[in-house]
Amino acid sequence: MTTKAAERPTLVENIQVLQVGKYGVRIDEKTWYGVNEPLTPSSFALGGYKISLVVSKTGKKYINEILGAEVVASAPVVAAAPVIAAPVVQPKPIENKATPLKFDDKSIQIQRQGLYQAALQSPALPQWALNVTEYLSLVRQVADAGIAYVREGK
């Protein structure tokens, strides 16, 4: 009796390993090859390899064996960029030129609506209420306190 892996044809490819992952190796921008036992992803380092592989029914490729390391002349060599420390800039002192905020009816309506919605979505408030009436009362109290806090900045 033959195994399923033996039924699939074995292919030989030259690959360039760009990244070693948890389950396999990446050979280009999007393509990953899995690794069959006894190999593990830690069997690979970045660089060129001649490999033996099988293709699953779904089309995924799995590496069975490393046939040799390939020296790829066109392999990109990326040098680490020098680290240059950014100059330290002392912040300028903040001048208090704030003008008092003016609230028109529309901005007050937007504030009330936003603060009411935030209070309504608070996960803590339902724990303090025994029924819906108490809950809505708490929501309104929290929203009103928020509005008062926002207006303190005048």
Per domain, the residue ranges of the chain are 4-70, 105-151
Taking only the tens place, the pLDDT of each residue in 36-49 is 888 888 888 888 88
Taking only the tens place, the pLDDT of each residue in 46-78 is 888 888 888 888 888 898 888 887 644 444 444
Mean pLDDT for 93-108 is 70
Taking only the tens place, the pLDDT of each residue in 104-154 is 788 888 888 888 888 888 888 788 878 888 888 888 898 888 888 877 765
Cα gap 8→19, rounded to integer Å = 26
CATH code of domain 4-70: 2.40.50
Tokens encoding 138: 């708490």
Report pTM. 0.41
Cα gap 140→132, rounded to integer Å = 12
